[in-house]
């Protein structure tokens, strides 16, 4: 007997101390040669008992906790939580407060997607140049956050009833600069990668997610839209006045890693459209509704959701009329979107598994909480 090579499956750990797992996350992969035949997700390395800690603090004191779940989109997390408290307590936000929230949420989407597409390019082997371009543009947005909130990463800017501070005089010129300079960057990134032979080989047909699988797995955000499902919370269940803004929902057609990359690029263009409209129509008046320092919402429960950069981010709160939530729970899109990882990686190679994980765009802070 000649010419027969027998191989034996063995288990390798990808992570948790590995840059391509995008945080302290581990894939326990069973491989046969280079082929992945099983994949088990191992998480919990960053668990901080955040939801239980939140039940011992006042509603306002919990806002900084939300910064530290998805730390790449703190503004979005602030917003989702504040909407849930406002729904629970029946608090109305003034028009100026809503418009500022929309601008900040869309700037945060731009900053987050810069990290997503830049790091994803790194995962495919397009080393350094795309991610440095993305960091360059992201810094301009973090400068705006610093001027407005005093912080760059964990901003703690949203407040129950509106936002913490009104906009400074330099805010509008800085945002106008982003509106001018971001479109050429998106075109540049698309031109560099979308027709690159190696990038196409690494991403097209890799990590394919059918529309049925995406829906059955409760996926959301670019993961769902990359599979051709035009579902966006800003359109399906508008908040903060999103119904008055004109924007499109980008979708993919093949459900692969390449489509998810293209969807994120197009979402950045749509975010710029929304920011332009919100800034041009920014109303005057108060930026926040005054609420009691020790807020005690009436007995009941509320769930509020937003379209975060990673998908549907939901906050569920239960009040027993006390100063702290009786129950505090987060629906993190990274955790839900990760549920399809096994189906997307089994049958491919180890190298493909890195690309698939990068296309999901996880933030471990909101997976573990």
Q: Has residue 2 got a pLDDT over 60?
A: no
Average pLDDT score, the chain: 91
pLDDT-derived band at 5 (thresholds 50, 70, 90) equals: low
Q: Where are the beta strands (DSSP E) in 229-326?
A: 300-308, 311-319
Cβ–Cβ under 8 Å, residues 279 and 175? yes
By mean pLDDT, which of 64-73, 257-266, 312-321 is the weakest? 64-73
Tokens, residue 58: 């006042």
18-28 pLDDT per residue, tens: 777 777 888 89
How far is 114 from 261, CA to CA, in rounded Å? 11
Largest CA distance in the chain: 85
Domain residue extents for the chain: 48-368
**Residues composing the chain:** 369
| Average pLDDT value for residue range 232-250 | 94
How confident is the model at residue 76, as a pLDDT? Answer: 94
List all residues 6 or more positions away from 10 whose beta carbon is below 8 Å from its beta carbon.
30, 31
33-61 pLDDT per residue, tens: 889 999 888 888 888 888 899 999 999 99
Domain 48-368 is classified in which CATH homologous superfamily?
A: Cytochrome-c3 Hydrogenase, chain B (1.10.645.10)
Between CA 103 and CA 112, with CA 106 as vertex, the angle to 5 degrees is 140
| Average pLDDT value for residue range 211-218 | 93
pTM of structure: 0.92
Q: Has residue 349 got a pLDDT over 60?
A: yes
| Average pLDDT value for residue range 343-360 | 90
How far is 211 from 156, CA to CA, in rounded Å? 36
Tokens, residue 158: 């949203």
List all residues 6 or more positions away from 167 whose beta carbon is below 8 Å from its beta carbon.
100, 148, 287
How confident is the model at residue 244, as a pLDDT? Answer: 94
Q: Has residue 3 got a pLDDT over 70?
A: no
How far is 241 from 116, CA to CA, in rounded Å? 27
How confident is the model at residue 4, as a pLDDT? Answer: 64
Closest CA to 54 of 40, 71, 67: 67
pLDDT-derived band at 126 (thresholds 50, 70, 90) equals: confident
List all residues 6 or more positions away from 313 whose beta carbon is below 8 Å from its beta carbon.
70, 76, 77, 80, 305, 306, 307, 330, 331, 332, 333, 366
As a three-state string, the secondary structure of 30-49 is: EEECCEEEEEEEECCCCCCC
List all residues 6 or more positions away from 175 whose beta carbon is below 8 Å from its beta carbon.
103, 107, 144, 275, 279
How confident is the model at residue 303, as a pLDDT? Answer: 95
How far is 113 from 72, CA to CA, in rounded Å? 9
């Amino acid at each position: 007997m000649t010419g027969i090579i027998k191989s034996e499956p063995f288990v390798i750990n990808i992570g948790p101390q590995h840059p391509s797992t995008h945080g302290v996350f581990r894939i326990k992969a069973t491989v046969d040669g280079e082929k992945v035949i099983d994949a088990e997700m191992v998480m919990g390395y960053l668990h901080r008992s955040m939801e239980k800690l939140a039940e011992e603090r006042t509603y306002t004191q919990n806002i900084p906790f939300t910064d530290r779940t998805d730390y790449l989109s703190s503004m979005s997390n602030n917003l989702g939580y504040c909407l849930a408290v406002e729904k629970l307590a029946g608090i109305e936000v003034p028009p100026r407060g809503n418009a500022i929230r929309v601008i900040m949420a869309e700037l945060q989407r731009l900053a987050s997607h810069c990290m997503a597409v830049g790091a994803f390019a790194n995962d495919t082997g397009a080393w350094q140049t795309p991610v440095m371009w993305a960091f360059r543009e992201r810094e301009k947005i973090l400068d705006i956050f610093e001027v407005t909130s005093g912080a760059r990463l964990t901003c703690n800017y949203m407040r129950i009833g509106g936002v913490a501070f009104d906009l400074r005089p330099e805010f509008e010129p800085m945002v106008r600069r982003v509106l001018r300079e971001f479109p050429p960057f998106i075109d540049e990134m698309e031109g560099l990668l979308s027709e690159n032979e190696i990038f196409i080989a690494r991403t097209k047909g890799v990590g394919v997610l059918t529309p049925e699988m995406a829906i059955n797995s409760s996926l959301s955000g670019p993961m769902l839209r990359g599979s051709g499902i035009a579902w966006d919370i800003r359109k399906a269940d508008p908040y903060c006045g999103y119904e008055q803004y004109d924007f499109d929902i980008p979708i993919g057609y093949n459900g692969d890693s390449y489509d998810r990359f293209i969807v994120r690029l197009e979402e950045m263009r749509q975010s710029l459209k929304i920011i332009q409209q919100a800034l041009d129509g920014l109303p005057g008046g108060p930026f926040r509704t005054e609420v009691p320092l020790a807020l005690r919402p009436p007995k009941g429960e509320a769930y509020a959701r937003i379209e975060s950069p990673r998908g549907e981010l939901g906050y569920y709160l239960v009040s027993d009329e006390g100063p702290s939530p009786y129950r505090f729970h987060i629906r993190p899109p990274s955790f839900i979107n990760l549920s399809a990882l096994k189906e997307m990686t089994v049958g491919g190679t180890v190298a493909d598994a890195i690309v698939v994980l990068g296309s999901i765009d996880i933030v471990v802070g909101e997976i573990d909480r």
